[in-house]
Amino acid sequence: MIVQYGNRLKLISISGASNVTGYKSDVGRIAAMAHRAGVPILVDGAQLVSNSSLEVKPDGHPEHIDCLVFSVHKMYTPFGTGVLIGPKKTFLRGAP
């Protein structure tokens, strides 16, 4: 679908892992496919970051993760804090 609709996609958002089945997405492979189509990727790492390593990789790398989001309570820390990691230019475009 990425190849078929890539020129119409603005963002690809995937879940890094399922808390129901335990399935872990091949984030690097999906990121590479997204970037070949010129589409940024956002990874929901809520179920992934607490028990797996995840490498964001440098800008320009085919498997680079453009945006990463997760809530830290999944990492057994206090409730109420979330994390959004992305390119600085995205945050300079306007008010949050």
In the chain, where are the structural domains located? Answer: 2-91
pLDDT digits (tens, 9 = 90+) for 3-57: 787 788 999 999 999 989 989 999 999 999 999 999 999 999 988 887 888 899 9
The token duo for 84 is 């959004």
* Edge-first strand listing for the sheet containing 41-44: 12-15, 41-44, 67-71, 82-85
The token duo for 61 is 């790398």
The sign one gets for the Cα dihedral 29, 67, 80, 15 is negative
Whole-number pLDDT of residue 71: 84
Q: Which CATH class is domain 2-91?
A: alpha beta
- pTM for this prediction: 0.85
> In which region does residue 20 sit, left (phi positive, over 0), alpha (psi from -120 to 50) or beta (all else)?
alpha
Q: How far is residue 42's CA from residue 77's CA, in Å, rounded to a whole number? A: 23
Asked if 41 and 65 count as a contact pair (C-beta separation under 8 A), the reply is yes
User: Residue 67: which H helix or E strand, with range?
Assistant: strand 67-71
